[in-house]
Amino acid sequence: MVAELPPAPAVWCSDLHKRYRRRTAVDGVSLTVGRGEVVGLLGPNGAGKTTVIKILLGLVRPGAGDVLLLGRPARDPYARARVGYLPELFRYQPWLTAAEVLALHVRLAGVAVPPRERLECLAAVGLADRAGDRVGGFSKGMQQRLGLAVALVARPELIVLDEPTSALDPIGRADVRDLLLSLKDRGVAVLLNSHLIGEVERVCDRVVILDKGQVAASGTLEELLGRRELRLRLDGVSAEAEARLAAAGRLTRSGSSFTVTLPADQDTTTVPDLVADLVGLGVRVHTVEPVRISLEERLLDILRDGQSGDSR
Ligand SMILES: Nc1ncnc2c1ncn2[C@@H]1O[C@H](COP(=O)(O)OP(=O)(O)OP(=O)(O)O)[C@@H](O)[C@H]1O
């Protein structure tokens, strides 16, 4: 009976609060990260993202609220051993080699990870040829790559990454994106705090937007970005074809340019069906361009709305 229960979410927290003296850092945050889900935490400087992460990991004690990691209290050693963490401010023992740092973290996690697998982990973050070099001689970006390897090495079920690409060059950022996608494929849950919205938009299943210590919005990208527009450039549009376009969604026209605002419940066949019908009605279709509001635009809208309604 128990075996049939679905596994507990990777992260579950409810109504977290944290004050530093008179400053409220976190003000009633609840969120979950499902198994194998990649969730992005977004928000302006000082929104409370790092504080939430530290509460989740048991590094900061909340004033109120409950946390479960992998179904267990955050301080439970079982849960801790299965969580990989890259802190925002990272520093590793400068006198150790990269391989020794990983060996140390594997020992701390109490997991048997053979040296070959540890090397693969260094290779995954682009440090294969630096395994024997001391960390003290690493650039900042290389130390951040090592931090990612530390977060990955003990076969975690959940990885929490606080600004994992802040020191990385564009190739490093692309590597991290690929890494996150491969973790997702392996069913590892990821909580990602990043200011790089494009990065979040590419890899995250869901996004939680924090502002002034509260959840300002959350949902899948579809839910948050909502309606999609389709821009078409067409010739030979009869009244019947125009009616077909209008049936697909709200229609505006400027000469040969048509814009259809598609409803939220459209599926993968909506656009190809529309194009096939238009061609069938004798329309010549020059371009079909789906346009979606970007996460950055949506984030700015949400934060500006919060400011205009703000009395604090
Ligand atoms: N150790 C601390 N002592 C006092 N205040 C703190 C401490 N840590 C965080 N704060 C305050 O809590 C608030 C939230 O900070 P936090 O670091 O969680 O924000 P953040 O969203 O991660 O910001 P950023 O994007 O700049 O990293 C800020 O007002 C900050 O000044």
- Using one digit for the tens of pLDDT, what is the confidence trace for 147-162? 999 999 999 999 999 9
312 in a structural domain: no
309 in a structural domain: no
127 and 253 fall within a common domain: no
> DSSP code of 9?
P
Which amino acid residue places its CA nearest to atom 11 of ligand 1? 25
Is the pLDDT at 263 greater than 90, yes or no?
no
Q: pLDDT, tens digit, for every residue of 88-140?
A: 888 888 999 999 999 999 998 888 889 899 999 999 898 999 999 999 999 98
Centroid of ligand 1 to alpha carbon of 104 (angstroms): 30
Is the pLDDT at 1 greater than 60, yes or no?
no
Q: CATH code at 251?
A: 3.30.70.2380
C-beta of 25 in contact with ligand 1 (< 6 A)? yes
167 and 94 fall within a common domain: yes
3 in a structural domain: no
Reported ipTM exceeds the 0.95 cut:
yes
Centroid of ligand 1 to alpha carbon of 26 (angstroms): 9
17 and 75 fall within a common domain: yes
Distance CA 310, CA 65 (A): 24
200 and 103 fall within a common domain: yes
Centroid of ligand 1 to alpha carbon of 146 (angstroms): 25
Which amino acid residue places its CA nearest to atom 26 of ligand 1? 45
19 and 137 fall within a common domain: yes
- The pLDDT, as a whole number, for residue 121 is 92
Q: CATH code at 177?
A: 3.40.50.300
Residue 228 banded pLDDT, cuts 50, 70, 90: confident
119 and 161 fall within a common domain: yes
Q: Which residue has the higher pLDDT, 45 or 264?
A: 45
Which amino acid residue places its CA nearest to atom 31 of ligand 1? 46
Which amino acid residue places its CA nearest to atom 29 of ligand 1? 46
80 and 202 fall within a common domain: yes
126 and 263 fall within a common domain: no
Q: pLDDT, tens digit, for every residue of 270-298?
A: 899 999 999 999 999 999 998 877 788 87
Q: Which residues of 235-245 are buried (b: 16+ CB within 10 A; e: fewer)?
A: eebeeebbebb
Which amino acid residue places its CA nearest to atom 13 of ligand 1? 25
249 and 146 fall within a common domain: no
Given ligand 1 and candidates 18, 27, 31, 45, which is best to mutate, with the most ligand atoms within 8 Å of its CB? 45
- The pLDDT, as a whole number, for residue 296 is 83
Which amino acid residue places its CA nearest to atom 3 of ligand 1? 20
C-beta of 194 in contact with ligand 1 (< 6 A)? no
111 in a structural domain: yes
311 in a structural domain: no
308 in a structural domain: no
Print the domain residue range for 280. 227-292
Residue 311 banded pLDDT, cuts 50, 70, 90: very low
Among 189, 204, 220, give the residue marking a domain's end.
220
Centroid of ligand 1 to alpha carbon of 61 (angstroms): 14
Choice among 169-178, 220-229, 245-254, 272-281 with the minimum mean pLDDT? 220-229
Q: Which residue has the higher pLDDT, 36 or 75?
A: 36
Local structure of 295: helix, strand or coil:
helix
pTM confidence score: 0.80
Among 220, 253, 270, give the residue marking a domain's end.
220
Q: Which residue has the higher pLDDT, 157 or 167?
A: 157
Count of domains forming the chain: 2
51 in a structural domain: yes
Is the pLDDT at 170 greater than 80, yes or no?
yes
C-beta of 23 in contact with ligand 1 (< 6 A)? yes
C-beta of 20 in contact with ligand 1 (< 6 A)? yes
Is the pLDDT at 233 greater than 90, yes or no?
yes
Percent of the chain whose pLDDT exceeds 70: 96
235 and 212 fall within a common domain: no
Choice among 86-95, 196-205, 303-312 with the minimum mean pLDDT? 303-312
4 in a structural domain: no
157 and 254 fall within a common domain: no
178 and 240 fall within a common domain: no
Among 220, 237, 257, give the residue marking a domain's end.
220
Local structure of 119: helix, strand or coil:
helix
- The pLDDT, as a whole number, for residue 2 is 55
Query: Rounded to the nearest 5 degrees, what angle is found at the Cα of 105, between the Cα atoms of 192 and 118?
Result: 85
> Residue 13's beta-bridge partner residues?
31, 67
- The pLDDT, as a whole number, for residue 312 is 39
Centroid of ligand 1 to alpha carbon of 196 (angstroms): 18
Which own/partner pairs from 138-143 qualify as long-range (CB within 8 Å, at least 24 positions apart)? 138/98, 140/167, 141/167, 141/168, 141/169, 141/172, 143/90, 143/91, 143/92, 143/167
Is the pLDDT at 200 greater than 80, yes or no?
yes
